[in-house]
Structure 1
């Protein structure tokens, strides 16, 4: 066996993207170069790593086994790099954070300057829904999780960051007939929901339940971006975090509908398992965040204060 680390890394990216084209794009290589490296790796095994079904590349069961082994190999190589950097006096390692989907508008601003100060630190940032974020945190797969609603069944500590405000919004064609609407108005709307497991959806449902509102027509979509595009297109209205729609509100593409009891308010928190033993990088980032969070909020989120 004479496969190279380069071939293994390319195959790992192929399994992640399930596409030679996408793997090539993410690795900044040409598609033929990726195909050649995949062939060279495949030539060293008697069992197929991938198959073409229709026009789609499919990783075989054996291919997934190899991919799992490759992940461990690459982690060991990264460990060597981190130790080398440490001997040079540089702080290095991997920082792993899971973020609820709306948090993609928040978390980068609390990471950028830290990563600039510590270029040897690698970041793994997973953006998904609340249920999967908490699953990753519970399984101890990540150092931190960014959520807007604290979990009730998990022992966590964390750092409070900033408010998360949710408003009822419609598109530019929404005509205001009242200066302010009561909760009964929601029953007249087609309301666009996030999927089950979303923190935004949970906030919506808690509000609707507390007001005994029964929604007659609803649409369910699986991302904040999809919800925003649906509202922009006039498919209905939705309760959305301001942080993800502020540009559209400013341009007039979306309108905040004045509702009694709004905005709904939650709190962005970066949380971690209580009693977790941090890596040096995670501990350094936690200290950095505690020290600099107020400065970063004033710099990047003054409009939200």
Structure 2
């Protein structure tokens, strides 16, 4: 047997994704590179590891057995690496974080220097919508979650990081005028919404309900980026987090429309299950953020604080 650890890692990812293409994307490799590694691994066995039915790749029953063995080998290799780094005095482990979609503009800046200080710690960060973030937290699948609206049905610990400010935004061609009647204004413009389960949508709907006004809902889109591009294209206006539109404001592609009651302000918070026992890596990250969050805000978010 002449298989390599890299071949086993590639095969494990193929088994996860059931796809050469998706495995290549996850591993940041080209499709031919993944195919070559799979072929070289297959050459070590007389029984097929995979099969293609129609255009879909499947792992064979024998392949599943090899997958289990491969994961054990990979885990042991990681354990050896961790023991080596721990012996050298470096902290090791893994931190898992689920992040609401607009939080991707926030969380990396709070993590960067910590992971530079501790190269032996791995990070798994899942970026998705609020309902899925809360679900992963409730199932105890992650160490932390980043949200701007804290769920009220869980016992949580939390660390406030930075304010989340939401403004009404339009594209550069929109004629800005003084808003005299909010109800008339929102009935006359197409308002673009995020999908159900989004924290941004929940915040927007609470604002609209508090004003007791009617709106012209034009579109419902499933990501902040999609909403942003729709607004730039002139399909409508939207209430969006400031944190995600810095470049578009600078380039003049978007403009903030001042109306009474905005910006809406919430807070980006790192939350965790109170009953969860954090490992050394997660505890170290929490201590680091508590001690350094003010410095991180000054270093990376001066522009944001000015609004």
Q: TM-score, normalised by structure 1?
A: 0.89
- Count matched residues: 303
Partner Cα separation in structure 1 for residue 110 and residue 4 of structure 2: 37
Contact 1:156 1:272 in 2 (8 A): yes
Contact 2:179 2:185 in 1 (8 A): no
Contact 1:180 1:260 in 2 (8 A): no
Alignment of 1:27-46 (within 5 A): 27=27, 29=29, 31-42=31-42, 44=45, 46=47
Report the equivalent of 1:236. Answer: 236
Q: 1:175 to 1:127 in 2, by over 3 A?
A: same
Report the equivalent of 1:154. Answer: 154
Report the equivalent of 1:248. Answer: 248
Report the equivalent of 1:130. Answer: 130
Q: 1:256 to 1:29 in 2, by over 3 A?
A: closer
1:111 match: secondary structure:
helix
Partner Cα separation in structure 2 for residue 169 and residue 289 of structure 1: 31
Matched, 1:276 2:270: no
The worse-fitting range, judged by mean Cα deviation, of 110-119 and 173-182 is 173-182
Report the equivalent of 2:262. Answer: 262
* Gaps in structure 1 of 5+ consecutive residues: none
Report the equivalent of 1:195. Answer: 195
Per the TM alignment, residue 272 of structure 1 is displaced from its structure 2 partner at its CA by 0.9
Per-residue CA shift, 1:203-232, capped at 9, x if unaligned? Answer: 011112222233333211111111101111
Report the equivalent of 1:216. Answer: 216
Partner Cα separation in structure 2 for residue 157 and residue 240 of structure 1: 27
Report the equivalent of 2:50. Answer: 49
* Gaps in structure 2 of 5+ consecutive residues: none
Per the TM alignment, residue 19 of structure 1 is displaced from its structure 2 partner at its CA by 4.4
The worse-fitting range, judged by mean Cα deviation, of 26-35 and 278-287 is 26-35
Contact 1:180 1:258 in 2 (8 A): no
2:234 match: secondary structure:
coil
1:228 match: secondary structure:
helix
Per the TM alignment, residue 255 of structure 1 is displaced from its structure 2 partner at its CA by 1.0
Contact 1:204 1:239 in 2 (8 A): yes
Contact 2:231 2:237 in 1 (8 A): yes
Per the TM alignment, residue 289 of structure 1 is displaced from its structure 2 partner at its CA by 0.6
Per the TM alignment, residue 5 of structure 1 is displaced from its structure 2 partner at its CA by 2.8
Per the TM alignment, residue 80 of structure 1 is displaced from its structure 2 partner at its CA by 3.0
RMSD of Structure 2 on Structure 1 (CA): 2.5
Per the TM alignment, residue 87 of structure 1 is displaced from its structure 2 partner at its CA by 1.6
Per the TM alignment, residue 16 of structure 1 is displaced from its structure 2 partner at its CA by 5.2
Per-residue CA shift, 1:271-302, capped at 9, x if unaligned? Answer: 11113211111111110110001111111112
Q: TM-score, normalised by structure 2?
A: 0.89
Per the TM alignment, residue 74 of structure 1 is displaced from its structure 2 partner at its CA by 3.2
